[in-house]
Structure 1
């Protein structure tokens, strides 16, 4: 699928428009015309399509972004290389991306052909919700021997989680199986359903959707890896230091949305918001599936955007093991700038 075609299709999936953000600002603030005139350009966010963007949908629809005087323009990405290249080259302001991508591109190990020496995470979102899911005929790790498994990119994202899980069960890359690029989680899910690959790492609730069609979940990554930092808000540090109020506002709005989503009394409205941002043919039951998968377990969304530094250390260890041979990596704190989070909540 071409990037152009993907973006056209994914725009239906996301339904995030800067116009609606500006409309919310007009509706929610006195002196609307004056406020809109003073509103800065939309905050450009790039994300992977999926239910894990639920807090962003809530922040949009409930006016949490508007209350921080933020208009947002959100772009879905087909893969990590498109996302990270766009962030590094200034086409986007914030990337909701895997923590490993931040480390990879900061250390010059990314696949997009560009380096991001000032990339940092400023907020945590979740522990990844990572599941190893296999085809209906693959009921265990042994059934993956001699098969092809899919990844987003060969040296970034969640590929190392896949390699680690299989190695712990006696399977080594190239000796026992091969990998192939398939793109982000939406494309990997589709490729798995089409039987193009025997297994892949999916993000909840894609795993539950696959299981409903006869596929098998072989592992929950956090059960085997322990602490793991999945998605974070990543920025160019130079840009963030020039726009500190916008970064702090984004962190607060996201945290407020997570708190709202986790409140049981908001469940019915949360399900309606979920379905409103999904494609028109999405079955209503998928909202309940997503709610259970993303909110009922210990992973869930991280409160107040608090990053898990122990989880970042796990990401660093996996990159040191499977990444570029001999490359020197830093400790977890090197890849995280806490100043924006601290200032957002007045705990500095």
Structure 2
């Protein structure tokens, strides 16, 4: 009679009594409990999760064979995978769509979704309008949606996902020329509060030759501005330095501090932080550019046609927020708002207030699009070879001046 050699694999299969006696390497009449002791023990589980350990222990005690134990492990893996998937989806939903805060009297208000690429001191009037309930006053509830990156903010609005957004008008002009249905409806910043910052070892702009400068895009409006400032202030051409896309002011500050770029430009509070950190301030953009429509609120044209009244009331609330911010009597509340919104300390808030509110004053008090400033935006596009000679379109193709005009009339 031929007898198969015993192996761990054959141990798991039922045997006849003859097969057991014939196998020389197999102990006679072994109990399953004894044979299981020869199987290497599995690695100890993490004992930090007591509920999981209890769950595992109960199932293990119920396992009466090696096969059932293997089946249990498979089921346990599937359960953990399901739990992990559900947990990930739960937190991802919060990251994608921040929870909307509830205010007393929110019922009956018209919700306005508003896309921004980040949060800096530049949007102080918007935060003031929220905190002081100016939006509520005009029957609106503002739902701010932070979408990192200017191009992504533009896409959110021109796709119809979000009706309103806040961005450099150059991006809206670029999108509109490619067929997007969007227009700038108010001028949020008509002066550029950007400082050109460099590593501490760089003392002059001329030393940027051959260096890497951090930007938010290779073809955006701020990059056109940087090119002009570098040429006027430091006599550097575009071939004299390299550009690295790193993001908006917070990311550019981090890139400079982390050493991945030699220089970059940034606005409050990051320019002030950079100076405090020992970085070199080379110049200010406004000194060489003058008035320029740096930031504006824009809207999808379909939204403007169907909800013009909401757009007017939205701009009106921001105008009130701006005027409140400029009022010296509100300084303490404004500082508290800065510290809350930007997670800053008292010193940083006071520095931003002095620079932005008391000295630089970039926000218009009537929400208007500055004609000289938007004309400068078009001039930079011409210098960037965006148009053929003699074929520069009027800026009025991309803006709706009537929204801000109507908004301010309701406040006078």
TM-score by length of 2: 0.72
The partner residue of 2:337 within 270, 273, 288 is 273
CA–CA distance in 2 between the matches of 1:47 and 1:197? 21
How far residue 170 of structure 1 moved from its aligned partner, in angstroms, is: 1.8
Q: Per the alignment, in what secondary structure is the counterpart of residue 121 of structure 1?
A: strand
Q: Is the 8 A contact 2:368 2:405 kept in 1?
A: no
Q: Deviations over 1:213-271 (max 9, x none)?
A: 11112121111112211111011222112111110111110000010010001000111
- The corresponding residue for 2:356 is 294
CA–CA distance in 2 between the matches of 1:156 and 1:104? 9
Change (3 A) 1:334 1:24: farther
Q: Is the 8 A contact 1:18 1:42 kept in 2?
A: no
- The corresponding residue for 2:306 is 242
Q: Per the alignment, in what secondary structure is the counterpart of residue 140 of structure 2?
A: coil
How far residue 181 of structure 1 moved from its aligned partner, in angstroms, is: 0.7
Map 1:1-348 to 2 at 5 A. 18-20=100-102, 23-26=103-106, 36=107, 38-108=108-178, 115-116=179-180, 118-126=181-189, 127-168=191-232, 169-173=234-238, 175-279=239-343, 282-324=344-386, 326=388, 328-346=391-409
**Unmatched 5+ residue regions in structure 1?**
1-7, 27-35, 109-114
How far residue 334 of structure 1 moved from its aligned partner, in angstroms, is: 2.4
Q: Per the alignment, in what secondary structure is the counterpart of residue 217 of structure 2?
A: coil
Change (3 A) 1:56 1:240: same
Q: Per the alignment, in what secondary structure is the counterpart of residue 153 of structure 1?
A: coil
How many residue pairs match? The answer is 315
Q: Is the 8 A contact 2:212 2:261 kept in 1?
A: yes
CA–CA distance in 1 between the matches of 2:112 and 2:380? 36
Q: Deviations over 1:66-125 (max 9, x none)?
A: 1111111112232111111111111212111112112221123xxxxxx52x32111111
CA–CA distance in 1 between the matches of 2:113 and 2:146? 14
Moved over 4 A (4+): none
Q: Is the 8 A contact 1:47 1:74 kept in 2?
A: no
Q: Which has the greater radius of gyration?
A: 2
Q: Per the alignment, in what secondary structure is the counterpart of residue 166 of structure 2?
A: strand
CA–CA distance in 1 between the matches of 2:140 and 2:192? 26
CA–CA distance in 2 between the matches of 1:339 and 1:238? 16
How far residue 325 of structure 1 moved from its aligned partner, in angstroms, is: 5.8
Change (3 A) 1:140 1:50: same
**Unmatched 5+ residue regions in structure 2?**
1-90
